[in-house]
A and B are shown apart, each in its own frame.
Chain A
Amino acid sequence: MPGFFSPFITKPDSVSQIMLKVLLALIPGIALYVWHFGPAILVSITLASLTALATEALMLRLRNRPIAPFLKDNSALLTGWLLALSIPPLAPWWLVVIGTAFAISVSKHLYGGLGNNPFNPAMIGYAVLIISFPVQMTQWLSPHGMGSVELGFIEQLNYIFLGVFPEGIKLDALTMATPLDTLKTQLHLDGQIREILDMPIYGRLAGHGSEMVAAGFLLGGLYLLATRIISWHIPVVYLGTLFAVAGLFHLLDPAHYVEPLFHWFSGAAMIGAFFILTDPITSPTTHKGKLIFAFGAGLLTYLIRAFGGFPDGMAFATLLMNICVPLIDAYTQPKVFGKKGQKS
């Protein structure tokens, strides 16, 4: 019987509050997103949220679990948001729906629901989408003042839901490759870093606009650190590793390897460092384990970005490191009180 045995008091803290704070921390990044790329992202976030909640409820129903307490835990919402933020905002509606539904149903509930999923659901959703729909997944909106034409909100809605554009406008005119993508293609074409970075899509540190969004996520991440929702281990080591490896290559060959700050502020590095890798369910629990995990993820992200086939390595790095979590945990068990002098 609950409350019959000690302790009789608990800290007023709950999973749903934790998740809510994480959602709140995403808001600066989202606001900057809207500022630079228009409100389309809000549509996909809403779409992803609704799909996430509906799928969650359906799965709970099928698994015969109580629906209300789990729907209220906000974890499905967070998965939806993270996924929406990692796919192009102007993606057709079914892309968001398929990705979110897959993330929630297969990668979360088929593994036993909240707390039991070995992989980050949002990243699984992303990976499935980028493998199945590579074209739609690379049509990123160009930031304000960059594209040759820009769409109004209604026109964006029209495209997302109905797939129709105003007379005479083609999708190509609205979208362009991401900064990381462009870098990769240009390097392939024997471009030099200096020249490439002079292209108009690049801003001060990385992609024009997207660098600001990354900065927004950094801000939210600092809030999470300050409120102790996450510990410093993963973000610091992840960004540190990324910086160190990128810096090393940059020092060796500045013409072909872009400087480390560029890596920080492009792609999913920032949101990954603070919001995705730090997902407690799919990351190690020991301090040492977190360090190893973040180091591995940082290294893999760089290697995939610099040498792999995909422009951004964040998602795959996360998933690859997710696999290692049980192993990392098992091998990094710390010594307990009174047994530090002994060999385990």
Chain B
Amino acid sequence: MRTLYPFHGGIHPASNKAQSNHKPIAQAALPSRLVIPLHQHVGNSAKPVVEIGQCVLKGQIIGAPEGHVSSAVHAPTSGVIAAIDMQPVAHPSGIPDLCITLIPDGNDEWIAREPCDDWKALAHTDLRHRLRAAGVVGLGGAAFPSDMKLYAHKHKIKTLVLNGAECEPYITCDDLLMRERAAEILQGAEIMCALLYAEEVLIGIEDNKPEAIAAMRAAVLDGKYERMEVVAVPTIYPGGGAKQLIRVLTGIEVAAGVRSTNLGVQCFNVGTAYSTWRAIRHGEPLISRIVTVTGNVGQPQNFEALLGTPVNELVAQAEQLPDTRGYIMGGPMMGIRLPSAQVGVIKATNCLIAMSDSLFPPALPALPCIRCTRCVDVCPAELQPQELFWFAQSKNLLKAQEYHLFDCIECGACSYVCPSNIPLVEYYRFAKSEIWAQETSKKAADAARERHEYREQRIEREKQEKAEKLAAKEKAALDAKAQKSASPPPTPLPPAGEGASVSDAPVDADPEDTMHLKIQAAIDHAKQQAAGSKPGNTEQLTPQQQAEIAEIDARRTRIRELALSSVNEHTKE
């Protein structure tokens, strides 16, 4: 028996998995259209490489990875590109993003694939390249490009953790995948293991999935994988969080901002291992995934759905009940409420939950925090959520960071237990994004300051250079004069100091004059130009607009005056 290292805290919400885990995975019907977002993964958005009206084949690249961290997007079936435009996507903001709309032609005709019978013959870079081209990303929810995670120096990584814990309520897609396709998961894990030079593979599955554990154990025996072990871990939320599962299986704690590879572990979802196998062995890009459709539906079930399948078409196949008032993508603890029923399934969509008032009663009003520390008791990151809440609420971002805000994994356990019904995680998300925004604008401000200072210096330098040039000219002229008047008479020669001031004065005055002249010329020129081309659109202005214009003009003149006066002062000094 392996020693497990339980993590602190955790909760036991009603699992609600029984509804959907007793039926096999069904093939979802071909939808009427597919809405495929180009940004389904962590990193840069993919760049569309097809045109409207173009016919594409199943598996053809329609979005190419752009930049280092990015992933490809493929046509899930053959058909015609109907649109490339902004569509609602699964994002908490509800802001639309660039999507490709594909109308299937019904033939489901594959593009030429490149299967590989013996992946061991391929170089590691080649394998990674294939994964990137196949658009394989983490299917557990984070959607990080997998090729990026499958890179390690020899013997740096000891353990590959395969995550089949699936701790969130309602979700059963990994459960079913493990029951039905265990062998392929393990084959994928073997590729990953080889790429990472890992010594062992630990497959963590929560003990509320005995069938999956049995199926995976049988597959390990069948395949004679000596370095793999299926470990039943206690059922507790968020035991399926990567950090928590790594801790349970290996005792290693990965703090925020630390790469688990540096500690000798890497973690992948079982679904990712499966698609890795499909991509390498069969040359199939990631174009479909298993989605649990559950909640307020008559026939909760898992579907193998094409990416881009509109949510309403998929949920309809599970017989959506009439009082549905919305959908959650993901689980009830960390999922996203969808802004529209037309949003397409993406690589990270593990579950769709139809919401009804009886399943998800509206949130109760929040009361002040009573410092009961129930949140502390359940926080898997061992934070003090009530303190974080206090600081986030008062927008004391510095303090919040001091109290390890960024170690919060947003699991929602604290909000779940809070007797005051405070939406704690929302405060943390707010504080985090506020800090990020401030950092970005700080960086922008610093860059602007640098550029501004550089510019001032440059202007100063140019001025000086001009002055020096003039001085040189002056001197040359003087020298010439001096040479002309052969031997200098002793009396008119001014004392050294005076001479300097005499020769200095024009040098100082001259560039100023030329500057002023130039400025004046430029201004005159601009005035002429401006007179020539009257600002358009000024005929029908409301008084308010006119007032605004007048105000802006006044401000501009003032600034100009100020700027000029300060320039003058500057030059006088």
- Determine the chain B residues whose CB is within 8 A of the CB of A114 once the complex forms: 367-368, 370
CA distance A336 to B409 in the complex (A): 12
- Flag the segment in B253-261, B275-283, B498-506, B507-515 that touches A: B253-261
| Additional pairs, 6, CB under 8 Å, beyond known A8-B335, A13-B374 | A2-B365, A10-B417, A10-B418, A337-B8, A338-B254, A340-B253
- Determine the chain A residues whose CB is within 8 A of the CB of B373 once the complex forms: 231, 280, 285
A7 touches B253 (CB 8 A): no
Which residue, B13, B256, B370, has most C-beta atoms of chain A within 10 A? B370
* Contact flag A280-B371 (CB < 8 Å), given A6-B334, A334-B382, A338-B258: yes
CB A238 to nearest CB in B, in angstroms, measures: 17
A69 touches B418 (CB 8 A): no
The B interface is mostly helix, strand or loop, or mixed, namely: loop
Which residue on B lies nearest to A230, using beta carbons? B372
Q: Pick the contact of A4 from B258, B337, B370 — CB < 8 Å?
A: B337
List chain A positions with a Cβ less than 8 A from chain B: 2-11, 13-15, 17-18, 69-70, 73, 75, 113-116, 231, 280-281, 283, 285-286, 329, 333-340
CA distance A249 to B157 in the complex (A): 60
Which residue on B lies nearest to A330, using beta carbons? B387
CB B431 to nearest CB in A, in angstroms, measures: 14
The answer to whether B536 has its CB under 8 Å from any CB of chain A is: no
A3 touches B362 (CB 8 A): yes
The answer to whether B11 has its CB under 8 Å from any CB of chain A is: yes
CA distance A112 to B556 in the complex (A): 48
B407 touches A337 (CB 8 A): yes
The answer to whether B341 has its CB under 8 Å from any CB of chain A is: no
B360 touches A115 (CB 8 A): no
Which residue on A lies nearest to B368, using beta carbons? A115
A286 touches B384 (CB 8 A): yes
B421 touches A280 (CB 8 A): no
- Determine the chain B residues whose CB is within 8 A of the CB of A11 once the complex forms: 11, 13, 416-417
Q: List 15 A-B contacts (CB under 8 A).
A: A5-B425, A6-B332, A7-B415, A10-B416, A11-B11, A69-B367, A70-B367, A114-B367, A285-B376, A329-B387, A333-B403, A336-B407, A337-B380, A338-B243, A338-B254
A10 touches B421 (CB 8 A): yes
The answer to whether B397 has its CB under 8 Å from any CB of chain A is: no
CA distance A3 to B403 in the complex (A): 27
The answer to whether B162 has its CB under 8 Å from any CB of chain A is: no
Which residue on A lies nearest to B410, using beta carbons? A6
CA distance A285 to B333 in the complex (A): 25
Q: How many residues of B contact A (CB 8 A)?
A: 61
List chain B positions with a Cβ less than 8 A from chain A: 7-8, 11, 13-14, 92, 169, 243, 247, 253-256, 258, 328, 330-337, 355, 360, 362-374, 376, 380-384, 386-387, 403-404, 407, 412, 415-421, 423, 425-426, 429
Q: Pick the contact of A9 from B332, B372, B376, B419 — CB < 8 Å?
A: B332
CB A37 to nearest CB in B, in angstroms, measures: 32
B335 touches A113 (CB 8 A): no
Which residue on A lies nearest to B381, using beta carbons? A337
- Determine the chain B residues whose CB is within 8 A of the CB of A338 once the complex forms: 243, 253-256, 258, 407
A3 touches B363 (CB 8 A): yes
Which residue on B lies nearest to A66, using beta carbons? B365
B328 touches A8 (CB 8 A): yes
* Contact flag A9-B13 (CB < 8 Å), given A18-B372, A333-B403, A337-B255: yes
CB A223 to nearest CB in B, in angstroms, measures: 17
A115 touches B369 (CB 8 A): yes
CA distance A283 to B258 in the complex (A): 34
CA distance A334 to B11 in the complex (A): 20
B407 touches A281 (CB 8 A): no
CB A212 to nearest CB in B, in angstroms, measures: 30
- Determine the chain A residues whose CB is within 8 A of the CB of B382 once the complex forms: 334-337
- Determine the chain A residues whose CB is within 8 A of the CB of B337 once the complex forms: 4-6, 8
* Contact flag A337-B7 (CB < 8 Å), given A114-B368, A285-B384: yes
A9 touches B370 (CB 8 A): no
Q: Pick the contact of A113 from B254, B255, B368, B412 — CB < 8 Å?
A: B368
Which residue on A lies nearest to B255, using beta carbons? A338
A15 touches B420 (CB 8 A): yes
A337 touches B253 (CB 8 A): yes
CA distance A113 to B330 in the complex (A): 38
- Determine the chain A residues whose CB is within 8 A of the CB of B331 once the complex forms: 6
A9 touches B253 (CB 8 A): no
Q: Pick the contact of A7 from B255, B355, B416 — CB < 8 Å?
A: B416
- Determine the chain B residues whose CB is within 8 A of the CB of A113 once the complex forms: 368
- Determine the chain B residues whose CB is within 8 A of the CB of A73 once the complex forms: 367
- Determine the chain B residues whose CB is within 8 A of the CB of A69 once the complex forms: 365, 367
B169 touches A281 (CB 8 A): no
CB B477 to nearest CB in A, in angstroms, measures: 71
Which residue, B330, B336, B421, has most C-beta atoms of chain A within 10 A? B421
CA distance A13 to B377 in the complex (A): 15
- Determine the chain B residues whose CB is within 8 A of the CB of A17 once the complex forms: 419
CB B509 to nearest CB in A, in angstroms, measures: 63
CB B332 to nearest CB in A, in angstroms, measures: 4
Which residue on A lies nearest to B333, using beta carbons? A7
Which residue on B lies nearest to A116, using beta carbons? B368
CB B260 to nearest CB in A, in angstroms, measures: 10
* Contact flag A9-B381 (CB < 8 Å), given A14-B419, A333-B403: no
Which residue on B lies nearest to A335, using beta carbons? B382
CB A1 to nearest CB in B, in angstroms, measures: 9
- Determine the chain B residues whose CB is within 8 A of the CB of A6 once the complex forms: 328, 330-337, 412, 425
- Determine the chain A residues whose CB is within 8 A of the CB of B367 once the complex forms: 15, 69-70, 73, 114-115
Q: Pick the contact of A280 from B11, B364, B372 — CB < 8 Å?
A: B372
B256 touches A5 (CB 8 A): no
